[in-house]
Amino acid sequence: MAKQKWYRYLLYLGLEALRHIVLVLPRRLNQWLARSLGFCAYWILSDERAKVNAHLEDVFGAEKTKAEFQKIGERSFIHLAQSAIDVLCFPRLTRERVERLVFDDGSVKRVEQVLARGKGLIMITGHLGNWELLASYFRFLGYPGCLVGRRIYYEPYDRLLVNLRKRGLVSTVYRDESPRQVLSELKQNHIVGMSADQDIDSLDGVFVPFFGKPAWTPVGPAKVALASGAPIVPGFMVHENSRYHLFVEEAIWPPEHISSKEEAVGMLTEAWSQVVERYVRRFPDQWVWMHRRWKTKETHQVAEVVG
């Protein structure tokens, strides 16, 4: 345990050093640095590379070649590094810089149309592109709201991320806190951001199809939608050359009449999860393939065999 904590602390010191370096470098050099770090990480972290390639092969099978799997995996590490460095640069963000950084072809208008209904908005996203910038972008445009996130297991990491979000004008509400704050934000017609495309077995969830396989998916967004009347709106901040492209999909409104709450939760969860899958298929090199998305399903299968 002591060795693991020492490793975490070293990584934290490295992140702190990197944070100070990137704040003084121009973005062009930061992007070069990110590409270099991502490329090296892919080839040095052999266990993570094997995990990524296995997930890609399991999902796409014969649709793609091993060379394509390698290219997608390598670029997924690069995109993740680029996003991380852009988040480390949040302290120097301004509205003008954010607007130059992000290309919007009408997505903000779609958000405005939903907010005109007065129910607030649950913006659901995935770990694709730069999900942290997605929340910050709307805050710099003047839209009030918050981000619902999980506590990071190592407190210095958590403190660093929360402070960076604050520099990006984003406040964090932890998942294990009372939902009243989230419901209060929606009641005030604010935007609440959630990223719920990962398998976290400690959270309430349901199995919904994801790439044709049952995946344990958090039901928090659906339950909040039903409790508040707010719609779930999928949104994504995708890398596009040296900038980002904002995508906002049609709102998924909670049904007015439901036969059962459980059925409604399942329907809403599957609906937004299908949108996330569509974007992962469209931009496969920008998703976190190192995450064990179907972990809980595998655990349940083992338990059934043992039983």
Q: Give percent of the chain with pLDDT exceeding 90.
A: 84
pLDDT digits (tens, 9 = 90+) for 13-61: 999 999 999 999 999 999 999 999 999 999 999 999 999 999 999 999 8
pLDDT digits (tens, 9 = 90+) for 72-119: 999 999 999 999 999 999 999 999 999 999 999 999 999 999 999 999
Q: What does the pLDDT read at residue 29?
A: 97
Question: CA nearest 236: which of 307, 93, 132?
Answer: 132
Q: What does the pLDDT read at residue 298?
A: 52
Q: Is the pLDDT of residue 287 over 80?
A: yes
Top pLDDT among 68 and 257 is at: 68
Mean pLDDT of the chain: 92
How many angstroms separate the CA atoms of 194 and 264, rounded? Answer: 19
Mean pLDDT, to the nearest integer, of 164-187? 93
Q: Give percent of the chain with pLDDT exceeding 70.
A: 95
The residue count for the chain: 307
How many angstroms separate the CA atoms of 141 and 172, rounded? Answer: 18
**pTM (whole model) above 0.75:** yes
Q: Is the pLDDT of residue 2 over 50?
A: no
How many angstroms separate the CA atoms of 21 and 23, rounded? Answer: 5
